[in-house]
Chain A
Amino acid sequence: MAKKYPVQVKVNGKMKSAEVEPRLLLVHLLRDEFDLTGTHIGCDTSQCGACTVMLDGMAVKSCTILAIQADGAEITTVEGLGSREELHPIQQGFWEKHGLQCGFCTPGVMMAVNGLLQENINPSEAEIREALDGVICRCTGYQFIVKAVQHAAELIREQQSQPVSLENVTTRGDVS
């Protein structure tokens, strides 16, 4: 068996470590070692985006990154986006606008949307559809995902006129 290396990451605000083979994918580290199974795997060619997480503030496909590459990084998975009691505006948007059916693609799609909304708080329909190019949803036909994103953007804009800002949504619990 290949030699193992230590990896330490901050996931959803908590420090976590593991000994991993160099070939271990980040998505497997999250799912199998840390039991964060909200991040899904939908393909093996980096197309579907079901595995998307925030890594140091950027939306990335965790199936395309080795766990050891993430050493020292700060990661937010869907579990860290918001809780049932305190949903993130993106989660709220998806719930209210029926942006999910089976919900399998949803965690990754929401993280990709998080990436978009960090850069563009008022995206047009075309910009939203373009930003969803890295994800595949087989259930919804995307229309209500688009509506969900528009609604989430609206909620975030409302929120931004209040003290808490969007830069701080990457790691819940870290909101300053």
Chain B
Amino acid sequence: MTQVIGKPIKRKEDPKLITGHGQFTDDIKLPGMLFATMKRSRYAHAKIKRIHTAEALKLPGVMAVYTGKDVQDKIKPIRSIWLVPGCNLIPKDRIPLAVDKVNYAGEAVAMVVAESRYIAYDALELIDVEYEELPVVVDQEAALAEAAPVIYDDVPKNIAFTWKAGDVPEEVFINAEVVVKQRLVEQRVIANPMETRGAVASYNPGSGDLTIWCTTQNPHIHRITYADALGIPETKLRIIAPDMGGGFGAKIAVYTEEALVGLAAMQLKQPVKWVEGRQEHFLATSHARDQVITTELAGTKDGKILAIRAKNIANLGAYLSTMGAGVPTIDFGLMVTGAYDIPYAQAETIGVYTNTTPTDAYRGAGKPEASFQIERMINIFADKIGMDPVEVRKKNLVAKVPYTNAMGCNYDSGDYHGTLAKALEAIDYVGLKKEQEEARKNGRLLGIGISTYVELCGLGPSKVAGAIGFGGGLWENSSIRVHPSGKVTIFTGASPHGQGEGTTFAQVVADKFGIPLEDIEFVSGDTLIISMGWGTYGSRTTPVAGGALSIAADRIVEKAKIIAAHELGVPLEDVEFAKGIFSIKEQPDQQRTFKEIAWSANNAWNLPDGMEPALEGQSFFDPPDFVYPFGAHICVVEVDPDTGMVELKRYVCVDDVGRIINPMIAEGQVHGGLAQGIGQALWEQSVYSDKGQLLSGTFMDYAMPKARFFPMIESSFIESPSPVNPLGAKGIGETGTTAAPSVIVNAVIDALAPYGVKDLPMPLTPEKVWKAIHERSDGQ
């Protein structure tokens, strides 16, 4: 057996997906299945006076219509699981169907269950809701104003929490040679996985067992929450995440509709399916980012950074979503210094309720925001002191790891300067600067952008989870079952949905056992089969669940070795295991294969005294610390002064993501993240009217990146194994969304330097760029 770790193996999960035999939630069809639809509020803020459902109920094929009053004593509010301590948090939980008042446009007010999808939609038209409109506030800064409408009586000024970490003595800023300050807007975006959310619930009235197939990145967290909300034992609820069409954080949050469908299935004693339409998804599934960050940076004239102080006003939307409080506080605040050795740092976040869809995690969750502000600030500082932004980075980059940043995070491994050097060389920075100079002489607007980002991933030690108010552990479980035939099944509590762990985990096990990849199956996403797990997010699957996998495999090898020694009649120390063969040192003809030992362990005819039969291994791995992927990304853009169009000409990235198991899958993760990060920088934005109507509520209005928007990405890796998990992996899924926005914005601002443009808010649409060029040049 040749080693497969580190090889670009074709994915094991693909054959079923490319032949149309995947099973996504909407593909599930059960006998007698009904279809549910949700009546959603057309107002962003209004009292519900009456809901008329009689007409809908009369429609043939309609089985039931539920309103908030019908379900309020049957489903408890869905609680946020991240109650960040020490910030006077006032959590406002989502309730399944609004009762007295709606707080954002799209909030569900009634549910129809009917015999078919079409009838269920027809019935929605027949429900009449009488509202009394209330004043609306959608912008978080506006929501803090004295005269702003208040959404909850017990939440003065709409402030959900005020959080602070770190402290910068005032003298540092007073005495600093240079201070720069900038307001940076992380606009609201939407993850938009191509598969919307959905759920199918099936109830067995005899046993009382409820099964919900749903689009979730963390089935066990969903089980804990829904069992509690529905008032049934955790053991009576089975959550299954079937094939999933992406998540990107939007399917971490625990929503209400899945519980409603569960209730309907229990009450009607028939299976019920609900699947979001895309426009419904735009309204009902979490939005993200939407943070107004004002950062001050203190430094010296020769480019050393002394302190960073960030104030973040975060829009939480109308309710506190599952991780809604953690994203703009812990996830953001701990990383405000980026990859730089900055002695002092301080982060403050005000969380604000508004009449908008709740915000929650989206690929990177808080780290992209932190990275954006520090990477923009470095460039703004460089501009102020007249230094090349690359030089400022070199002056301040972390010199040596392990390194503890001002917030206490321990950067684990790698060469930050070396990575930057590699990226500069890959793009020929010196040559590029010359080219830019020439281009400028000819009136061409060429811009170079850079980021030397770092992110906090691999969530994470459970002790820390407890300390930061996360309502659960962050360890992970993987187990391996060796069947009598020597074939192997992997079970994991992580719940991948496109990231390819069905292949990479098999690669790990194939190498550990010396068996072919074809012999290994992978199971995840089912709470009945998997004992416990915390799910897939925060680039934790490979570092944490993969860590557990590695330990579980070692345990199996250990036991198998004892059996082999017993069978071969030699002391354990004399047995060697390599490439699937147990052999005796210096007697290579005396051997047992992994397959033979699998059979021996399972038949148990001749095991060492006291040894239990079978060959299974399990590990619940709680990592000692987080992992810190980092890298250097550089891009070249050209702006067309006549149209304001930004053309991305080159994008080079060098990422140190620790040990790489499958370089092809790793590169795919980089591309995908970059497309989303570049999308945020240039095109994507979720826009509300003053009345709280989502104006960007379809794919016609929300600019999803298309294939023709991108050049070929030039990606490469450096592998510095992380010391905090057995695989040495650091996680890779979020590098692109963390790095790209600042890379692109830095490049566009650089391109516009001849016009004296210092900053522009994302997304850098042609209109915005054109105005920046023409309003300035006209004014001169």
Interface residues of A (CB under 8 A from B): 1, 21, 23-24, 28, 31-32, 35-45, 47-48, 50, 77-79, 81-84, 87, 91, 94-96, 98, 100-107, 110, 125-126, 128-130, 132-133, 135-146
25 chain-A/chain-B pairs, Cβ below 8 angstroms? A23-B118, A31-B26, A37-B20, A38-B20, A40-B24, A44-B278, A44-B698, A81-B20, A95-B11, A95-B14, A98-B668, A102-B497, A103-B245, A104-B24, A104-B245, A106-B17, A128-B707, A129-B707, A136-B699, A138-B193, A139-B246, A140-B675, A141-B713, A142-B710, A143-B710
Given contacts A132-B706, A140-B672, A142-B675, 4 further A-B contacts (CB under 8 A): A77-B20, A84-B15, A102-B245, A141-B710
Chain A residues in 8 Å Cβ range of B22: 38, 103-104
Interface centre among A42, A104, A106 (most CB of B within 10 A): A104
The 3 closest A-B pairs by CB, nearest first: A38-B20, A104-B245, A103-B17
Contact B710 A132 (CB under 8 A): no
In the assembled complex, the Cα of A87 lies from the Cα of B705 at a distance in Å of 29
Contact call A144/B671, Cβ cutoff below 8 A:
yes
Q: Is B647 an interface residue (CB 8 A)?
A: no
Q: Which residues of B contact A21 (CB under 8 A)?
A: 118
Q: Is the CB of A143 within 8 A of B713?
A: yes
Bound together, the chains give a CA A95 to CA B705 distance in angstroms of 23
Contact residues in A for B674 (Cβ distance below 8 Å): 141
Q: Is B277 an interface residue (CB 8 A)?
A: yes
B194 at the interface (CB under 8 A from A): yes
Bound: A38/B24 CA distance, A: 9
Partner of B195, one of A40, A125, A140: A40
| CB of B21 closer than 8 Å to a CB of A | yes
Given contacts A38-B21, A79-B19, A133-B706, contact A103 B698 (CB under 8 A): no
Question: In the complex the two chains form, what is the Cα distance from A45 to B15 in whole Å?
Answer: 29
Please judge, given known A-B contacts A45-B700, A106-B18, A133-B708, whether A50 and B672 are in contact too, CB under 8 Å: no
Closest to A2 in B: B118
What is the chain B residue whose CB lies nearest that of A45?
A: B698
0/1 per residue, B726-767, Cβ < 8 Å to A? 000000000010000000000000000000000000000000
Chain B 666-678 near chain A by CB (<8 Å), digits 1 or 0: 0110011111100
How distant is A22 from chain B, measured CB to nearest CB, in Å? 11
CB atoms of A132 and B707 under 8 A apart: yes
- B contact residues around A48 at 8 Å (CB): 194, 278, 699
Question: Is B31 on the interface with A (CB-CB < 8 A)?
Answer: no
Contact A44 B277 (CB under 8 A): yes
Task: With both chains docked as a complex, state the minimum distance between the C-beta of B104 and any C-beta of chain A, in angstroms.
Answer: 20
Residues on A with C-beta less than 8 A from B705 are 141
Could you tell me if A103 and B18 are in contact, using CB atoms closer than 8 angstroms? Answer: yes
A-chain residues with CB within 8 Å of residue B132 when the two chains form the complex: none
Residues of A within 8 A of B499 (CB): 101
Cα(A151)–Cα(B679), bound, Å: 27
Closest chain A residue to B699, Cβ basis? A47
- Which residues does chain B contribute within 8 Å of A125, judged by CB atoms? 712
Residues on A with C-beta less than 8 A from B672 are 101, 138-141
B194 touches A136 (CB 8 A): yes
How far apart sit A171 and B667, CA to CA, in the bound complex (Å)?
34
Provide the bound-state CA to CA distance between A47 and B194, in Å. 11
CB pair B704–A136 under 8 Å, yes or no, is yes
Evaluate whether A50 and B698 lie within 8 angstroms (CB atoms) in the complex, with A44-B278, A143-B710 already known.
no
Return the CB mask of B691-708 against A: 1 if under 8 Å, else 0: 000000011100011111
Partner of A45, one of B192, B699, B708: B699
| Residue pair B676, A146 in contact (C-beta under 8 Å) | no
Taken together as a complex, chains A and B put the C-alpha atoms of A136 and B195 apart, in Å, by 11
Report which residue of A37, A79, A101, A130 has the largest number of chain B beta carbons within 10 angstroms of its beta carbon: A101
Q: Which residue from A83, A98, A135 sits with its C-beta under 8 Å from B19?
A: A83
User: In this complex, what residue of B is CB-closest to A134?
Assistant: B706
Residue of B195, B675, B700 touching A104 (CB-CB under 8 A): B195
> Complex: how many Å from CA A77 to CA B27?
15
Kindly provide the distance from the CB of B739 to the nearest chain A CB, expressed in whole angstroms: 13
Q: Are A102 and B668 in contact (CB under 8 A)?
A: no
User: Cβ of B21: which chain A residues have Cβ within 8 Å of it?
Assistant: 38, 79
State how many angstroms separate the Cβ of B67 from the closest Cβ of chain A. Answer: 25
Nearest chain B CB to A76's CB is how many angstroms away? 11
State whether the Cβ of B243 lies closer than 8 Å to any Cβ in chain A.
yes
Q: Residues of B contacting A43 with CB < 8 Å?
A: 278, 698-699
- In the bound complex, residues from chain A placing their C-beta under 8 Å from that of B576 are none
- Decide if B127 is an interface residue (CB 8 Å cutoff): no
Complex formed: what's the CA distance from A39 to B192 in Å? 19
B277 & A107 in contact (Cβ 8 Å cutoff): no
Point out the residues of chain A lying under 8 angstroms from B708, CB to CB: 126, 129-130, 132-133
List chain A residues, Cβ under 8 A from B243. 102-104
Interface residues of B in 1-17 (CB under 8 A from A): 8, 10-11, 13-17
List A contacts of B706 (CB < 8 A).
129, 132-133, 136, 142
Query: In the docked arrangement, what's the CA distance between A59 and B647, Å?
Result: 30
Q: Cβ of B278 and Cβ of A42 under 8 Å apart?
A: yes
Q: Please, which residues of chain A bring their CB within 8 A of the CB of B671?
A: 140-144
Complex Cα gap A81–B324 (Å):
43
| CB-based nearest A residue for B279 | A44
Point out the residues of chain B lying under 8 angstroms from A45, CB to CB: 278-279, 698-700
Cβ of A52 to closest chain B Cβ, rounded Å: 12
Alpha-carbon separation in the docked complex, A100 to B191 (Å): 18
A133's partner among B195, B676, B707 (CB-CB below 8 A) is B707
Contact A139 B26 (CB under 8 A): no
CB of B498 closer than 8 Å to a CB of A: yes
Shortest Cβ distance from residue A161 to the other chain B in the assembled complex, whole angstroms: 24
Please give the distance in Å from B284's CB to the nearest CB on chain A. Answer: 14
Interface contact A102-B279, CB-CB below 8 Å? no
B20:A144 contact, CB within 8 angstroms? no
Q: Which residue of A lies closest to B193 (CB)?
A: A138
Please report the C-alpha to C-alpha distance between residue A50 and residue B674 in the assembled complex, in whole angstroms: 22
Assess the A144–B668 pair: CB atoms within 8 A: yes
Residue of A nearest to B673 (CB): A141
Given the interface contacts A24-B118, A144-B668, A144-B671, does A101 sit within 8 Å of B246 by beta carbon? yes
Q: Residue B201 at the A interface, CB < 8 A?
A: no
User: Closest CB-CB distance, B552 to chain A, in whole Å?
Assistant: 26
- Chain B residues closer than 8 Å to A1, beta-carbon distance: 60-61, 119
A137 nearest in chain B by CB position: B194
Are B195 and A102 within 8 A (Cβ)? yes
Q: Within residues 238 to 253 of chain B, which ones have a CB less than 8 A from any CB in chain A?
A: 243-246, 248
Q: From residue B774, how far is it (CB to closest CB) to chain A in Å?
A: 29
Kindly state the separation between the CA atoms of A101 and B668 in the bound complex, as whole angstroms: 8
List residues of chain B with CB within 8 A of the CB of A28. 117
Nearest Cβ on chain B to A83's Cβ, whole angstroms: 6
Cβ contact within 8 Å between B17 and A100? yes
Asked if B707 and A142 make an inter-chain contact with CB atoms under 8 angstroms apart, the answer reads yes
Chain B residues within an 8 Å CB radius of A130:
708
Residues of chain A with a CB closer than 8 A to B196's CB: 42
- Do residues B707 and A107 form an inter-chain contact, with CB atoms below 8 A? no
Q: State whether A107 and B498 are in contact (beta carbons under 8 Å apart), knowing that A129-B707, A141-B674 are contacts in the complex.
A: no
Whether A95 contacts B244 by the Cβ 8 Å rule is no
- Complex alpha-carbon distance, A139 and B11, angstroms: 15
| Minimal beta-carbon separation of B50 from chain A (angstroms) | 28
Measured CB to CB, the closest approach of chain B to A1, in angstroms, equals: 6
A146 cross-chain contacts in B, Cβ below 8 A: 707, 712
Any chain A CB within 8 A of the CB of B665? yes
- Nearest Cβ in chain B — how far from A153, in angstroms? 15
**Chain A residue with the shortest CB-CB distance to B19:** A84
- B194 in contact with A138 (CB, 8 Å): yes
For the complex formed, measure the closest distance between the CB of B620 and the CB atoms of chain A, giving whole angstroms.
Answer: 28
Task: Please report the C-alpha to C-alpha distance between residue A140 and residue B707 in the assembled complex, in whole angstroms.
Answer: 10
In this complex, the member of B17, B118, B498 whose beta carbon has the largest number of chain A beta carbons within 10 angstroms is B17
Which residues of A are found within 8 Å of B13, using beta-carbon distances?
A: 103
Report B-chain residues with C-beta under 8 Å of the C-beta of A139: 194, 246, 498, 668, 672
**B664 at the binding interface (Cβ < 8 Å):** yes
Closest to B13 in A: A103
Residues of A within 8 A of B712 (CB): 125, 143, 146
Cα of A39 to Cα of B360 in the assembled complex, Å: 30
Complex CA gap A12/B278 in Å reads 28
